[in-house]
Structure 1
Amino acid sequence: MAAHTSASSTVVMPPIAAAPESLLSLQVARRNGTLSPFDPAKISVAISKAFIAVEGTGATASRRIHDVVESMTAQIVAALLRRSGTGQVLHIEDIQDQVELALMRSGEHKVARAYVLYREERAQQRRELAPAMAPASTLGYSVKLPDGRTEPLDEQRMVEQVTAACRGLEGVSVDAVMTEVRRNLYDGIQLHELGLAQTMSARALVEKDPGYAYVSARLLLGNLRAEAVGFILPAARVHSQSQSSVSYGEYFPEYVRKAVAMGFLDKELATFDVARLAAALKPERDGNFQFLGLQTLYDRYFLHKDGVRFELPQAFFMRVAMGLALREIDREGRAIEFYELLSSFDFMCSTPTLFNAGTLRPQLSSCFLTTIADDLDGIFKAIKDNALLAKYSGGLGNDWTPVRGLGAYIAGTNGQSQGVVPFLKVANDTAIAVNQGGKRKGAVCGYLETWHIDVEEFLDLRKNTGDDRRRTHDMNTANWVPDLFLERVEADGPWTLFSPDETPDLHDLCGKAFAERYAQYEAKAELGEMKVSRKVRALDLWRKMLTMLFETGHPWITFKDPCNLRSPQQHVGVVHSSNLCTEITLNTNDREIAVCNLGSVNLANHVTPEGIDETRLQRTVKTAMRMLDNVIDINFYTVPEARYSNLRHRPVGMGIMGYQDALYALRIPFASEAAVRFADRSMELVSFHAISASVDLAAERGRYATYEGSLWSKGILPIDSIEILQQNRTHTLDLDRSSTLDWNGLRQRVMSVGMRNSNTLAIAPTATISNICGVTQSIEPTYQNLFVKSNMSGDFTVVNAALVRDLKSLGLWDEVMISDLKYFDGSLGNIERVPEEMKRLYATSFEIEPTWLIQAAGRRQKWIDQAQSLNLYLAQPSGKKLDALYREAWHAGLKTTYYLRSSSATHVEKSTMQRTDGKLNAVAVAASTSDYAGPKQCAIDDPGCEACQ
């Protein structure tokens, strides 16, 4: 059945058109190294055999096979020509990959399965015969060295390197990697291409076994070591196919000295006891990276000069740790403590901290929230502030509600305002212009309250139709929704829109106070005493909000009153918006730009099959809180309002990631009451220890400046603030308020000792740092069990390692299972031989009813003093479902929601992922049929929102 074999066949073949001249020079490389002319007829034979194996040889089947094979052969030949050009050599495996791809794309799943199974059987036969066969010969190949010299290719050395990379890993094969490597070699190959050939060959096998993600990372590390050591220690530079044996102990002191001398690192780092720190490094932890994580670090995080990366992974973690320990009394001891946390993946700082810690510009904060003033000076100062804050990796949330609406009077010119939209366009373009030095796009989210006269235009900002001057295609947007509006929606009542220059106090009011004042303004509008106002049906506006969310993905739905009524800092200000990713809820005004400093606990590292390792979790949270608090004092502030706010309130936002991995370890399906209870219990523990750690820091370093009068000072903890929200609601909150820990004891400690930080918890998306740690993102369910993940470092095959382990234990992990997962978009639901229990455990995001996400989020929210980035997934969205979903989120007391995700008609390209360069010939996420799905498979993979990671 294999394509391009010489086996005879009784199949009646369709006529093959005369081969185009471009095919005449094509050669096929066979597995034994010989070459033969390319013959399209052999492809037709292979396809026909695959069809006959499934459909038989009846007359009806023969006619269909004849027509399908002719068309499919032409497609495959055209694809091979596009890929190879003229005068090139095709490998037989590449041809067979294209046959498999064509069968999958055409929807001939049963035929494709038969073909895949046949290929696997033939591969197994070759493996069994391999000891008796001579290996593919590469004799005569030469390697071109950097100085222009050549030397014979040392294949044995390559085998040793691949063997070392595979050591200790189950399910991986040195022979499989070397087979791929040999296919990518050629005479005169560049020295640096040898390492790349090994790395990419292992990467191509990730779909076969997740272990290859570690193999490819280890091979990449070999390339990085040669690059970094050669730069830092030129005498050790490798000029041949051998790899440097220089140790971290030799490398690290010289790395620090040289990086300081070149102006990359703060000179204070050179005053540490560098030898002591070097001795504390754990080189073996380099082997814990998966390819996606290490490649991401290589591309975007490691220090480099003129494109040469000179920072090795453990040096990177220690550099960050040193940067965070600069002001500690025992700097070395704390740096080692911080390093242990980072390098073990127990906790990971956010991207800005990883980028900038220890450098000359240590802008370590993740999120900045601003309120825009209602005058030109204020508006353009805010846009300038956006640029300055974004320059060093900050993500932005802008509160635009104070800006007067369309048609409002302007006294200075005796004219009328053009409203908020033209300024949003400028903010959008500024975010694109300031791209953080090419590391990632600038990212901003604009917020507007639902009573603003421009709200309907605001809803249309992300549409692809209409006046492009009133569109913001790159800027995120979010509705800042008061409770009163949703009460009117549920009562099918009216809603009045105002311009904020006539209703300035609405911006700062919430709960019952807002409702009373709003009713007064409505009465004035009824009497004709408001210059700019408009009455609409609340339900109609709500439907338009949901429609735009469905069609464009924006504006997100966030809830003003829970954010304010449960804020510990309501005595000194108002929360006017959230941030870029909807997890930060801090006060803003004309003097204060709110700042938040983020990091995430890797929950997967703190769970065993027996449950949560509470001792380890407590230790991690305690150290992590100290790291986050240190950020505030070390931070480089680009605008004075940010420094003023951050030093007054000292907020931090500790979150979690690896939540889905933790559920796998506990054998708990995401869609279950047990998962909801685990969300409750795990967040209670994190909250308890975070608050306790902040109390410890207050005892050591002092309370934050605005502690007195806060909810903390009154003994009102996050679990207690739910009652304040309930008192301002007309319905009963759908929320369990139970607890298990000694909150009374902690409450007394908070009141007697104080808090070091005004805020402690916020769950960010963790798109990038979870990649680094090799765990699932944030609180997300598994997107798909097999897919390609896209970010600024490229496209990466991702396989659910936990699932693969379980399938192996049942003898179900084989080529056909891989084919089935591709065909069914990474879902087990339609694969009959998989047990139902496993289908429930490994259900993917669109197979889980979104109510389970809201229930789990509600349980977490009761412990969190800020908010959480909560994506919602709907497999088959409808207006009714969307309405019910977002009302449920509101009734559960959630503060914010994030992206709405909906499955497209086809998620995964039906093809093989082997031997790909990460482009669309790999398994890739197809574009959705609507714009709402955002970039690629999930907007938390959008580099534009990674400022919160």
Structure 2
Amino acid sequence: MDTTLSSPDKASVDITAPQRLRVIKRGGDVAAFDGSKISVAITKAFIATEGDNAAASSRIRDFVHEATQSIVDTFLRRMPDGGTLHIEDIQDQVELALMRAGEQKVARAYVLYREEHARARQPQNGDIAKPHPSLNVTQADGTVRPLDLGRVETLVFDACEGLTNVEPQKIVDASLKNLYDGVSIDGVSQALTMTARTLVEKEPNYTYATARLLQDNLRREALSFLDIVDEATYQEMADLYAPAFKAYIAKGIAFDQLDPQLAEFDLERLGAALDHTRDAQFTYLGLQTLYDRYFLHHDDIRYELPQVMFMRVAMGLALNEDDREARAIEFYELLSSFDYMASTPTLFNAGTVKSQLSSCYLTTVPDQLDGIYGAIRDNAMLSKWAGGLGNDWTPVRALGSYIKGTNGKSQGVVPFLKVVNDTAVAVNQGGKRKGAVCAYLETWHLDVEEFLELRKNTGDDRRRTHDMNTANWVPDLFMKRVFDDEEWTLFSPSTCPDLHDLYGAAFEKRYTEYEEMTRNGQLKLFKRVKAKDLWRKMLSMLFETGHPWITFKDPCNLRSPQNHAGVVHSSNLCTEITLNTSADEIAVCNLGSVNLAQHIVDGELDGDKLKKTVKTAVRMLDNVIDINYYAVPQAERSNFKHRPVGLGLMGFQDALYKRGIAYASQEAVEFSDTSMELISYHAIEASSDLAAERGRYQSFEGSLWSKGVLPIDSIANLAEERGADYIEVDTSTTQDWARLRDKVTSQGMRNSNVMAIAPTATISNICGVTQSIEPTYQNLFVKSNLSGEFTVVNAYMVNDLKERGLWDEVMINDLKYYDGSVQPIDRVPDDLKARYASAFEVEPKWLVEAAARRQKWIDQAQSLNLYIAGVSGKKLDVTYRMAWFRGLKTTYYLRALGATSVEKSTVDRGNLNAVGNADSGAAPSTQPAASPAASGASGEARGIDDFLSGKSGSGSRAPSAGDIDELGCEACQ
């Protein structure tokens, strides 16, 4: 029982912390000597024998003080110049002091206390039930003991519990072959982990066993640092998580890492809510990702465990709730079950002293020198705290524009973008990950042609930005001119400043007026081009360098709920955020994603569970706004005024697998529609209910919401302004939207924007599902990212092949040979080939169609990667025109495989795997090569002129799966 001791009135020496002494803990860590801990230990021994009143006894208090002082004096005499002693030496002196004073009963209680804790820490003194006959293990303190085979077997069998087709003894036997006499205790754990991970390609369930074995290292590191025990098994964590959690909160606050308000929670109640069984649901990739990049650490020691991290995030998001404990437990349940996951900045920083929880920041750069460099400074400050950035550069005057102050001419946008690029590289978010920014420019800007070439590897390097992302902000009028094969005029914003803030019919009217001014001589600075020629250059640069991405200005504005309060001038780093920006407001968005796969029950979408998840998720996202740390005042002002959030989804492909649906199918398109409709319905209702509870957002009046115009209704605005000939969108519904419209108009909305689908690459890794709305990249591959290399195999595919008796060594080898594709393998049935088609085997029309069905329900946008095999100019042209025609707001990365082929072998592996055709002599199989766009690289594609006519592709390397995961920034992930 803990007892608070009052300080003794007399003290001849400082018993709390003699500066010359250090203590070696059992885990090997070294800490400053603290004599007050001796006082506490002796007092606890008296309490154990004489009851709670012992702490108040003056006799005992005097004895405690004198005994403690005597022990401190002993060590100071022993080491007058300072030194290091072991924790066991201190406990020996305490026991000796009690015996010398005749306090046998108290001494016995202290001895029992030591023995109890020694048992809890696992055998330390040769008490090994099953010692290895020849292998010894070097402990953290340098001592050597026999390898405890019993503990090794316990760890492995615990790790494999409940997993089918996993053989624990196989892991034990193989691991022992990789050990040597004198191996470190960490080396034993590493050997177990490495052995298990090599088996993943043959049986996907080994990834869970590997993750559980990895946790042995995690527990040892954290629990010993927290002074709980030196090591613990998975089963023992049922009792150890609660005390570890309390110790963690205390340590984190002492280290100035955790918000001191966390100590005000009922830690007993929250500790009891931690569910150690949820540690068992991690994949190896997911857990290693958390360890490397998310867990709090001190002096490079991770002292945060998985369930503790989720509770820390939950507490951080519940700080302002009335019943904080109940809400924290509710939030914890959602996060730890993987039903929903917060974005990376929220996972990084919730509950810490610097709670920068927001994901995305959008800025507009003004056309003055101090404003430009002020915007670059804002970039640096926002990037420092893990924000992804989208900059609108359209207002900055073009090359050759007149500068009144100097009577000179402008160098245009590009030189400033070079500074932005280098700033993003320099400010790397505390070493956690790269800083990242995307620059947007409207297609009518006179510098747009040079802007398109920013990522090229040739040309003047002073006018290149090799690390920064770029995106075209395309008006509808330009796309109409492309469709109609008409001319397009480029202007400088210094002479046409109002174009930046206009969209739809108003933009078209003013733009044509400016064009007339060029014809009558009123405007001198302009350039006229063929719209199709500029479009071709946009597509060729996208193919060649991966940039600029293509995003559409008018649907973002015409369908914006906030078009009464300003203009959407750009999107963000990952193209899913569409919020207003101005000189006074930096738009902010807070992201999180529903794990759709977790809501498929018996092959069907569980609407009731989804409703519950979405309701809690929207509340968590809304809380971020009030708790968030804002690095610049414009962001705080904007976020409190409009309160936008972005609820998205991940695991869409997993949900299709669970339903037995192929991505390239009308059924998948329909599921994309109905699943997003449910998320939209419940998210809007949740925000409206929050408005009834907490109040409407400040700028609600005049919004589309206030007029009863929901996202599905705003499609009519786009169709009216663009013209019916230029849009085709399905507008069918299944929910009671009339009821919800009435609720929204009467109650209002808590948030100006509610939905946005982010990439989720990293948090999807944590949850062990496919990212966002993506198709499976490959069915079997080795993923390389910042955490290392991981074998990833499509468990759904493996299970289906097992059911049909097709999973064997030959199948594994052929999948490796064909880069995870089942299409060339003859004995795989056609229905499985369709279901397990990988990203480049799904025609891009299906990606666009599914995205269009989602877009009709979303008040912001979605990060839509496009995968195109056999790429040609015509195919790119058709795909991106289709994206615009279907009403999409934005697109993201282009992943392209060229039309050229490279021989892989002179043996037809597909027929080798065909039953009864092992001696077939068919022609060699081929594998397509990739364009640089496939990895977002800045490589040069050869034969661009041929490419544009559909004759040739690039001959660069095939993209690795790791490329798809590492898109430069995790703010949205």
> TM-score w.r.t. structure 1 length?
0.82
* Alpha-carbon RMSD: 2.0
Partner of residue 792, structure 1: 786
Partner of residue 148, structure 2: 154
Q: Measure the CA separation in 1 of the matches of 2:233 and 2:505.
A: 75
Q: 1:173 to 1:664 in 2, by over 3 A?
A: same
What letter corresponds to residue 428 of structure 2 in structure 1?
N
Give the superposition deviation at 1:566: 0.2
Residues 822 and 909, structure 1, Cα contact 8 Å, conserved in 2: no
Q: Measure the CA separation in 2 of the matches of 1:337 and 1:706.
A: 30
Per-residue CA deviation, residues 610-641 of structure 1 (Å, 9 max, x unaligned), is 41100000000000000000000000000000
Per-residue CA deviation, residues 119-173 of structure 1 (Å, 9 max, x unaligned), is xxxxxxxxxxxxxxxxxx9742222222222122233432221111111101111
Choose the corresponding residue for 1:479, options 469, 472, 481: 472
Whether 1:363 aligns to 2:356 is yes
Choose the corresponding residue for 2:521, options 528, 540, 548: 528
Q: Measure the CA separation in 2 of the matches of 1:322 and 1:782.
A: 34
What letter corresponds to residue 143 of structure 2 in structure 1?
R
What letter corresponds to residue 414 of structure 1 in structure 2?
N
Partner of residue 83, structure 1: none
Q: Measure the CA separation in 2 of the matches of 1:926 and 1:537.
A: 33
Partner of residue 592, structure 1: 585
Partner of residue 164, structure 2: 170
What letter corresponds to residue 363 of structure 1 in structure 2?
Q
Residues 552 and 932, structure 1, Cα contact 8 Å, conserved in 2: no
Give the superposition deviation at 1:728: 1.1
Whether 1:837 aligns to 2:861 is no
Residues 680 and 856, structure 1, Cα contact 8 Å, conserved in 2: yes
Residues 546 and 934, structure 2, Cα contact 8 Å, conserved in 1: yes
Give the superposition deviation at 1:178: 2.5
Give the superposition deviation at 1:527: 2.1
Q: Measure the CA separation in 2 of the matches of 1:299 and 1:224.
A: 11
Give the 5 Å matches for 1:223-372: 223-233=217-227, 236-238=229-231, 247-372=240-365
Choose the corresponding residue for 2:684, options 683, 688, 691: 691
Choose the corresponding residue for 1:728, options 721, 726, 740: 721
Partner of residue 53, structure 1: none
User: Per the alignment, in what secondary structure is the counterpart of residue 407 of structure 1?
Assistant: coil
Q: 1:801 to 1:695 in 2, by over 3 A?
A: same
Partner of residue 47, structure 1: none
Whether 1:896 aligns to 2:898 is no
Q: Measure the CA separation in 2 of the matches of 1:909 and 1:355.
A: 43
Partner of residue 758, structure 1: 752
Choose the corresponding residue for 1:632, options 625, 641, 645: 625
Choose the corresponding residue for 2:821, options 824, 827, 834: 827
Whether 1:444 aligns to 2:437 is yes
Per-residue CA deviation, residues 193-233 of structure 1 (Å, 9 max, x unaligned), is 11111111111111111111100100011110111000111
Residues 440 and 943, structure 1, Cα contact 8 Å, conserved in 2: no
Partner of residue 930, structure 1: 932
User: Per the alignment, in what secondary structure is the counterpart of residue 770 of structure 1?
Assistant: helix
Choose the corresponding residue for 2:449, options 443, 456, 466: 456
Whether 1:945 aligns to 2:939 is no
Partner of residue 82, structure 1: none
Give the 5 Å matches for 1:464-503: 464-503=457-496
Partner of residue 652, structure 1: 645
What letter corresponds to residue 183 of structure 1 in structure 2?
K
Give the superposition deviation at 1:934: 2.3
User: Per the alignment, in what secondary structure is the counterpart of residue 590 of structure 2?
Assistant: strand
Give the 5 Å matches for 1:868-887: 868-887=862-881
User: Per the alignment, in what secondary structure is the counterpart of residue 870 of structure 2?
Assistant: coil
Give the superposition deviation at 1:929: 5.0
Partner of residue 96, structure 1: none
Partner of residue 783, structure 1: 777
Q: Which moved more, 1:441-450 or 1:789-798?
A: 789-798
Partner of residue 808, structure 2: 814
Give the superposition deviation at 1:182: 2.5
Residues 364 and 582, structure 2, Cα contact 8 Å, conserved in 1: yes
Q: Which runs of 5+ in 2 are unaligned?
A: 1-130, 906-926, 938-959
Per-residue CA deviation, residues 736-776 of structure 1 (Å, 9 max, x unaligned), is 10001000010011111100000000000000111111111
Residues 762 and 868, structure 1, Cα contact 8 Å, conserved in 2: yes
User: Per the alignment, in what secondary structure is the counterpart of residue 406 of structure 1?
Assistant: coil
Q: 1:241 to 1:766 in 2, by over 3 A?
A: closer
Q: Measure the CA separation in 2 of the matches of 1:617 and 1:472.
A: 43
Q: 1:170 to 1:343 in 2, by over 3 A?
A: same
Give the superposition deviation at 1:249: 1.8
Q: 1:761 to 1:352 in 2, by over 3 A?
A: same
Whether 1:194 aligns to 2:194 is no
Residues 132 and 148, structure 2, Cα contact 8 Å, conserved in 1: no
Whether 1:219 aligns to 2:243 is no
Partner of residue 536, structure 2: 543
Residues 895 and 933, structure 2, Cα contact 8 Å, conserved in 1: no
Give the superposition deviation at 1:944: 1.4
What letter corresponds to residue 746 of structure 1 in structure 2?
L
Which protein, 1 or 2, shows the higher relative CO under an 8 Å CA cutoff with sep ≥ 6?
1
Give the superposition deviation at 1:238: 4.3
Per-residue CA deviation, residues 665-716 of structure 1 (Å, 9 max, x unaligned), is 1111111111110000000000000000001000000000000000000010
Per-residue CA deviation, residues 24-70 of structure 1 (Å, 9 max, x unaligned), is xxxxxxxxxxxxxxxxxxxxxxxxxxxxxxxxxxxxxxxxxxxxxxx
User: Per the alignment, in what secondary structure is the counterpart of residue 798 of structure 1?
Assistant: strand
Give the superposition deviation at 1:245: 8.5
Give the superposition deviation at 1:797: 1.1
What letter corresponds to residue 946 of structure 1 in structure 2?
E
Residues 783 and 962, structure 2, Cα contact 8 Å, conserved in 1: no
Residues 899 and 939, structure 1, Cα contact 8 Å, conserved in 2: no
Q: 1:676 to 1:324 in 2, by over 3 A?
A: same
Q: Measure the CA separation in 1 of the matches of 2:219 and 2:277.
A: 14
Largest Rg, 1 or 2: 2
Q: Measure the CA separation in 2 of the matches of 1:239 and 1:254.
A: 16
Residues 758 and 862, structure 2, Cα contact 8 Å, conserved in 1: yes
Residues 320 and 358, structure 1, Cα contact 8 Å, conserved in 2: yes
Q: Measure the CA separation in 2 of the matches of 1:139 and 1:657.
A: 50
Give the superposition deviation at 1:455: 0.3
Residues 547 and 936, structure 2, Cα contact 8 Å, conserved in 1: no
Partner of residue 414, structure 1: 407
Partner of residue 507, structure 1: 500
> TM-score w.r.t. structure 2 length?
0.80
Q: Measure the CA separation in 2 of the matches of 1:153 and 1:341.
A: 40
Q: 1:943 to 1:309 in 2, by over 3 A?
A: farther
Residues 894 and 933, structure 2, Cα contact 8 Å, conserved in 1: no
Residues 398 and 413, structure 2, Cα contact 8 Å, conserved in 1: yes
Partner of residue 841, structure 2: 847
What letter corresponds to residue 728 of structure 1 in structure 2?
E
Q: Measure the CA separation in 1 of the matches of 2:242 and 2:568.
A: 49
Give the superposition deviation at 1:175: 3.2
Q: Measure the CA separation in 2 of the matches of 1:746 and 1:651.
A: 19
Give the superposition deviation at 1:240: 13
Q: Which runs of 5+ in 1 are unaligned?
A: 1-136, 911-924
Q: 1:831 to 1:157 in 2, by over 3 A?
A: same
Q: 1:188 to 1:908 in 2, by over 3 A?
A: farther
Q: Measure the CA separation in 1 of the matches of 2:591 and 2:478.
A: 32
Q: 1:713 to 1:908 in 2, by over 3 A?
A: farther
Q: 1:243 to 1:184 in 2, by over 3 A?
A: farther
Residues 598 and 655, structure 1, Cα contact 8 Å, conserved in 2: yes
Residues 571 and 577, structure 2, Cα contact 8 Å, conserved in 1: yes
Q: Measure the CA separation in 2 of the matches of 1:929 and 1:861.
A: 28
